[in-house]
Structure formats: structure tokens, C-alpha cells
Structure 1
């Protein structure tokens, strides 16, 4: 009887001390890969009138915390939503040489992707104009949205619409037509030849989707139609 008790006690002691387990170390945690930093555009500067259509796009190099190799994806488009992309490029250096059409407005952006497919966000979008032949006036750039954000929901019966626009012809005076309504595309012009870049929309219907767009005009007959933006009301 005493021998049986001793054997049971020894067995319990072995298990309590880890007997019968494995001596292999636990696997080391796998380091999480992070995306490279977002590139910042350098040249051509925003809203620049370039003296040539042969350009060298430049940006600041991204940083990768794990020191993975980085590839840059460059997009050039004729609209600021990049639905009309005319040039793309992939490269390992923060520059891209390209030849574009003369006398046109272009928009460009860059993102960085490391060798493990972790990608940064796209850079901010810059625009530029290529020098044309015998061009007297350049069209304004497409307007950019400030507020409200696309598809944002507003909780009041009024909202302040804000936008921005620019023109490489520094002496040009810009004015704006604003179209607003619940149909897409909006056809009701609520502002004509406005010089300010904001508008207080009032008496909005509840639980509705509103669409709006800006037409930018210069004082030389140039006109650029912006894309359609939208917001919702509670």
C-alpha cells in the first residue's frame, strides 16, 4: 500500500514540475510589416505653368521601417479624380521623366509599395499646365472639394459648401457658377458668376441626397466644368 502511494506521489510530482512536456522553445512572434511613408511631391510645384512638355516629376523618398525595397507608382491624369489616366509608371527612384501633350492641364500623384506589398496612401494631388503653342489663355484648373466631404451626412437644413480653384494665368479673375439639386446631374443654377468660394445652401429637404458642381470661369472666356459632388441630409 505504501509503495502504491509513493508511486502516485512521484507521478504527480513529475507532472507538476513539467515532466513529460516538451523542451522546445515557443516560436518567436512574427514581426508585423508596415507600409512605407507617403511620398510628398516636390516638382513641378502645384498649379505650375511648365515651360516645356518634357518634364521630370520629383518627390521626396519614402521611408520603410523594415528597410524593405520600395517601388513608386506614379499616375498622371487629365482630371483630378484620376478617371482619365494618361500615364503610369513604376520605378525605384523618386523621379519620373515623361513627355506630355502641349497646352493641357494635368494632375499627378504617387504612392509607395514595399517588397511585401504594403502600400502607402497616395500623395496629395498636384496639378500643372504644359506650355502650349500660341496659347493666349489657359483654362482654370478643375475645382477641388473642401466641404462637405463626398457622401457626408449633414444634420441641419442648411450647409456651407466650400471649394477651391486656381489658374496659371495669375492675372485672371475667377468666378463660379454653382449647380445644386436632388437630381444627378444637377441642373438648377443657384449661383451665377460668384467671386467667393463658398455658398450657404439653406432650406434643404430632410432625408435627401443633394448633388452639386462648380463651373470655374476666367475673365477671358475660359471655362472648366467640375465633377459632381454629393451629400445627404438627415
Structure 2
């Protein structure tokens, strides 16, 4: 009887071991948890303020034609770092700065118009978010009156294709001036990429131009203030189909 009990216990133990271990190969693998990366939101610009003169820069001791300006913006959601783009509107050159906070110091030219914006970045996210674009003048030595900011195309938008439903198009633009003393605009317009034909001058931010189907047109705006200071816009273009 003792032998039988021993055999029975041994068989039972073996069956239990086989039952417990036999199902491991058939269980599906557990997928790793992949963290969700949220897209960043756009920052709101704070300083330098839009369409103003920036007079808070620290003049460079080695070169008084430059000053260090502290650019500031709001902290945006789901953002790990910021890319700041600062464009010299006189030369078209762009300075890029990277910051992990909502401000950064950048050395720029004095007496010069700039535009700037901020791109929000998130680690692991393919999408970015871009703030509005602001313009400002960095204060210069002895300047009593600033030239207007270069005009920006409103209609047709830069690179647009429009339908030729009429023989004319209304060119529209926007601009601003720290001193608020703009007196006139001259528009150069042609189907060559270096327009020299003047459509005349106007006190309004729009003017009519004659167009034809199948052509690409180029135009720019020269803005003048009451002191005779001028600014020339970038070259705008659109196609008529």
C-alpha cells in the first residue's frame, strides 16, 4: 500500500508540473507600451513687440553697430525646445537660435528692420507649430525717423495662381511704420523677374494692373515716408491661367 501511495503521488506531481508548464509556449507575446507623443502648440510672441522700435538692446562693447536683444515668447504646450528665426529685412539674411526656455539673447544690427517668429519643437514628434510673425526696428544711434517696414503682399498671395476672369487684377499689400508717416507707394510690375515698369504712385495700399492668360507676373512695392525714407518689398509673383 505504501508503494502504491508513493507512485500515485509521484504521478500526480508530474501531471501538475506538465500542466503548469505546458501552456507557456502558446501564450501570445505582450506588446511593449509605446508612449504617445503629443504635437506641440504654437507660442505667442511677447518681445520685441510688433511694428515698434526696440530700444532695450544692450549695445555691444566691441561693435556699437550691434546690440544684444532678449527675445521673449510664451511657453507652449507639449514643447521641448524652440527654434527662433530672425530675418534682416534690409539684407534678407536669417539668424537662427535654439532655446530650451521661452527666451534667448541674440546679437543683431542696430538701426535695422527685422521680422521674427518661433517654431515649437517636441522630441519624438514629426509635427511642429509656428507662431505669428512680428516686425520691429532695432534702435540705431542718432536715428530720428525710421524708414517704413517693407510691404507684404496680400493679393494675389505670393506664388498664387489666379484665373483670368478679367483683364486686370487689384494688387494689394500691407505695411506699417514706427513713425506712422507713410506718404506714398510706388509699384513696379512686369512679366520679367526684375520688374522696372512703374504702375505709378498711390496713397492707398492697392493698385490695378493689366494681366493676360498664361503669364507669370512679378511685382514689388516701394514705400516712402514724410522724411523721404524708403523701403523696398521682396519680389512677389503670381501666375495667370
TM over 0.5: yes
Q: Which residue of 1 aligns with 2:185?
A: 176
**Residue pair 1:53, 1:101 contacting (<8 A) in 2 also:** no
User: How far apart in 1 are the matches of 2:32 and 2:173?
Assistant: 52
Unpaired stretches in structure 2, ≥5 consecutive residues: 1-24, 59-68
Q: Which residue of 1 aligns with 2:174?
A: 164
**Residue pair 1:72, 1:90 contacting (<8 A) in 2 also:** yes
Q: Report whether the alignment pairs 1:84 with 2:98.
A: no
Q: Which residue of 1 aligns with 2:226?
A: 219
Render the CA deviation track for 1:17-69: whole Å, top value 9, x for unaligned. Answer: xxxx94316747856534201112111210111223332211111111xxxx5
Q: Which residue of 2 aligns with 1:47?
A: 51
User: Which of these two proteins has the greater Rg computed from alpha carbons?
Assistant: 2
Q: RMSD value over aligned CA atoms?
A: 2.4
User: How far apart in 2 are the matches of 1:221 and 1:128?
Assistant: 20
Q: Which residue of 2 aligns with 1:35?
A: 39
Structural mapping, 1:67-216, within 5 Å: 70-79=80-89, 83-85=92-94, 87-156=95-164, 157=166, 158-170=168-180, 172-192=181-201, 194-202=202-210, 204-216=211-223
Q: Which runs of 4+ in 1 moved over 6 A?
A: none
TM-score using structure 2 length: 0.77
Render the CA deviation track for 1:95-148: whole Å, top value 9, x for unaligned. Answer: 112343321112111101111153423322111112222212211111112121
Unpaired stretches in structure 1, ≥5 consecutive residues: 1-20
**Deviation, structure 1 residue 229:** 0.6
Render the CA deviation track for 1:171-214: whole Å, top value 9, x for unaligned. Answer: x133110011101111110122x111112323x11111011111
User: How far apart in 1 are the matches of 2:107 and 2:35?
Assistant: 42
Render the CA deviation track for 1:3-24: whole Å, top value 9, x for unaligned. Answer: xxxxxxxxxxxxxxxxxx9431
TM-score using structure 1 length: 0.79
